[in-house]
């Protein structure tokens, strides 16, 4: 390897553009690799994730290493002006490893040992797999840690799944013993052991949940999911030991995901907990644009929610590490992005805090399962097709916006989201089994702020609440006394808190609170929810609020008001004319409780009133119709305002003050037309 001067190109200096690059698939085609370098220039890309699934190319036989091809890639990309995000290869094992060490194979919940193949199916507890991954990672760090092209470590890929082998069973038992301080009585109390005669009298009796064993003890299910997160993090921490030791100045990430069908955060791991252990949040975003079940603007709202959640995990810019420039290959219908949508969807990521637009994949595979997954370079190897030109347009746009990198998104509104709460609520055998939809409910409370261009942080219960004027906490079913105390402190110190039905029902062990709603919640809300009515999908009720009637469906809490003020009432059923919405002043702050699941028109009215009451406003106001989103990032000298049209027709927006168009180098003021799926990015100097 040649000695090179370190190029100072990092997240803080530029926006990254590029993608997953798999030269290991093309080592027998030097002409293809040569074309890649030419096309990288034409696409205006600058950064490439390399080596993600390359273990068999790096170590084709145990102890036999072939790094020369990767040496060449480092050199040619560096000489081409590019940066490398180097992956560790643990996401997919070579066949020799599974054959020689079968303990690395994962065991599923039916207690069946899986076979070699696919990916992401290794045992996180296996000492052999931990040793092998750490060893290959040390070799990579030794060889490439000082190379000037290296800007980040990409550890494994999309951690997911769980293993039920004997190694994991033993690890789970040790985790349980540690969690409950070696006290079986405490464990049995937390899991409500006497139910169905499930009291344990020896640690050896504990097993992971399984369809062929126990899966109805909610405390066990919840602790198992916590264990899976902790064991995955522990595996990750083992992987990064040599990276931290040998390359302490190189940031480390692993890519988070979202469930694409309904576009909610991935639920297999608690990313709030995982975020503490990585340097930069990255995620793989694949919204199903142009689907037939929701409007473009509805989907854009969900994308904004996940962006704001992942950005808020560390309160710093994140990276979009994977996306597609057009279609994917795993949706039921894999529809291509329409003209202008690729630039629009990319700018939405930047607007909400991303410092990159990266793709899976750079070049389409010739064979196997992802040969039709979207890519920058298609099978035609052309720079003239529509998708390649769309990518080049994004690259040119990012070059004009390089000063956006590293900038912030200040917010006065926090919306609380909690993975553990979702696990527990989904497991609860009550309410409506198909209508709980915790994440989607939180997104609906987020929607009004997104539509009104009010910046939002989507935060964890462990994060600091004190910087927010408004904290929205919908459906926090699982609510510990510690979190209740912190919410009470937030309100006492002057904050405004909004919560809803099905909040504060169980402890952190998924045990119900006895004696009714916790007293601290009754104190700060000035009321007490007595009962929750669950409605069939065909059932409807109505609530009167601020002189208007709004439709209610699925859930209604029957409330006993103490000191609270009644803001709205139910209109039908046996609880007609009883409180549905309340407010209460508590010490320096104020609370609101929404008793039922109400239509979006209510959220617009209700949160509109709170926005006025608290003086919340967009960072820079732009007049526009629904479906246009205005988001902002803020540097030390200016606000960068992204105006994005998520409607199916051109829209007119109004700038009351002159702004500078950063993409076209011209002043804009008054009425400005934004085409269908169009964007405007403008700068507004900060004034003292």
Known catalytic residues are 158, 322
Confirm if 295 and 627 have CB atoms less than 8 A apart: yes
**Residue 530 and residue 557: Cα distance in Å, rounded?**
7
CA atoms within 13 A on the CB side of 476: 26
Q: Is 44 left (phi over 0), alpha (psi -120 to 50) or beta?
A: left
Nearest Cα to 314, choosing from 153, 457, 156, 487?
457
**Residue 428 and residue 414: Cα distance in Å, rounded?**
26
CA atoms within 13 A on the CB side of 350: 33
**Residue 124 and residue 121: Cα distance in Å, rounded?**
9
Tokens of 579: 């409180």
Beta bridge partners of 18: 47, 358
Nearest Cα to 569, choosing from 560, 578, 582, 561?
578
**Residue 22 and residue 10: Cα distance in Å, rounded?**
22
667 by DSSP, 3-state: which? Answer: strand
Tokens of 31: 């002409």
Angle at Cα 432 formed by Cα 428 and Cα 438, nearest 5°? 70
Count H helices and E strands in the chain, helices first. Answer: 18, 27
**Residue 257 and residue 278: Cα distance in Å, rounded?**
15
Confirm if 675 and 658 have CB atoms less than 8 A apart: no
**Residue 438 and residue 476: Cα distance in Å, rounded?**
9
Confirm if 142 and 1 have CB atoms less than 8 A apart: no
**Residue 503 and residue 18: Cα distance in Å, rounded?**
43
């Amino acid at each position: 390897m040649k000695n090179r001067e370190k190029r100072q190109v990092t997240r803080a200096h530029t926006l990254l553009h590029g993608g997953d690059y798999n030269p290991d698939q093309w080592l027998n085609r030097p002409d293809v690799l040569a074309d890649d370098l030419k096309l990288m220039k034409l696409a205006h890309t600058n950064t490439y994730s390399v080596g993600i699934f390359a273990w068999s190319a790096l170590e084709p036989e145990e102890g036999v290493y072939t790094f020369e091809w990767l040496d060449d890639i480092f050199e040619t990309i560096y000489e081409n002006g590019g940066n490398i995000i180097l992956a560790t290869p643990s996401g997919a094992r070579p066949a020799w490893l599974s054959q020689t060490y079968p303990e690395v194979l994962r065991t599923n919940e039916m207690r069946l040992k899986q076979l070699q193949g696919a990916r992401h199916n290794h045992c996180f507890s296996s000492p052999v797999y931990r040793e092998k991954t750490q060893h290959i990672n040390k070799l990579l760090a030794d060889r490439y840690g000082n190379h000037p092209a290296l800007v980040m470590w990409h550890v494994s890929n999309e951690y997911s799944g769980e293993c039920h082998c004997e190694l994991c069973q033993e690890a789970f038992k040790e985790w349980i013993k540690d969690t409950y301080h070696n006290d079986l009585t405490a464990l049995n109390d937390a899991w409500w052991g006497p139910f169905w005669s499930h009291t344990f009298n020896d640690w050896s009796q504990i097993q992971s949940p399984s369809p062929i064993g126990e899966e109805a003890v909610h405390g066990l299910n919840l602790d198992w999911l916590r264990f899976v997160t902790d064991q995955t993090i522990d595996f990750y921490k083992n992987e990064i030991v040599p990276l931290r030791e040998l390359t302490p100045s190189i940031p480390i990430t692993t890519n988070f995901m979202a469930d694409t069908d309904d576009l909610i955060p991935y639920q297999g791991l608690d990313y709030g907990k995982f975020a503490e252990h990585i340097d930069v949040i990255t995620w793989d975003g694949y919204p199903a644009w142009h689907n037939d079940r929701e409007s473009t603007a509805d989907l854009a709202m969900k994308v904004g929610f996940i962006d704001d959640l992942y950005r808020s995990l560390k309160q710093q810019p994140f990276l979009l590490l994977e996306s597609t420039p057009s279609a994917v290959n795993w949706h039921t219908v894999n529809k291509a992005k329409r003209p202008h949508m690729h630039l629009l969807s990319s700018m939405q990521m930047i607007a909400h805090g991303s410092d990159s637009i990266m793709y899976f994949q750079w070049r389409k595979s010739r064979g196997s399962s992802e040969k039709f997954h979207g890519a920058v370079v298609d099978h035609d190897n052309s720079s003239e097709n529509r998708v390649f030109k769309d990518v080049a347009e994004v690259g040119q746009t990012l070059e004009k916006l390089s000063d956006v990198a590293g900038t912030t998104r200040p917010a006065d509104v926090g919306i609380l989201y909690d993975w553990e709460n979702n696990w527990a609520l989904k497991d609860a055998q009550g309410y409506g089994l198909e209508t709980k939809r915790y994440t989607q409910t939180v997104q609906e409370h987020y929607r009004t702020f997104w539509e009104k261009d009010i910046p939002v942080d989507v935060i964890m219960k462990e994060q600091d609440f004190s910087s927010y004027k408004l904290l929205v906490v919908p459906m926090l079913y699982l609510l510990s006394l510690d979190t209740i105390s912190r919410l009470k402190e937030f309100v006492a110190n002057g904050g405004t808190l909004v919560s809803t039905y099905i909040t504060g029902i169980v402890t952190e062990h998924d045990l119900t609170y006895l004696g009714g709603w916790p007293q601290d919640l009754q104190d700060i809300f000035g009321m007490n929810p007595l009962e929750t009515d669950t409605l069939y999908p065909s059932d409807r009720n109505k609530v009167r609020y601020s002189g208007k009637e709004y439709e209610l469906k699925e859930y209604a809490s029957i409330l006993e008001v103490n000191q609270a003020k009644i803001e709205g009432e139910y209109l039908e059923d046996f609880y007609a004319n009883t409180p549905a919405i309340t407010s209460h002043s508590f010490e320096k702050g104020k609370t609101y409780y929404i008793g039922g699941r109400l239509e979006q028109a209510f959220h617009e009215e209700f949160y509109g009133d709170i926005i006025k009451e608290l003086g919340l406003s967009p960072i820079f106001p732009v007049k526009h119709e629904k479906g246009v989103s205005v988001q902002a990032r803020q540097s030390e000298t200016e606000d960068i305002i992204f105006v994005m049209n998520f409607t199916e027709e051109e829209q007119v927006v109004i700038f009351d003050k002159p702004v500078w168009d950063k993409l076209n180098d011209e002043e804009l003021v008054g009425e400005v037309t934004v085409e269908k799926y169009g964007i405007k990015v403008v700068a507004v100097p900060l004034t003292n």
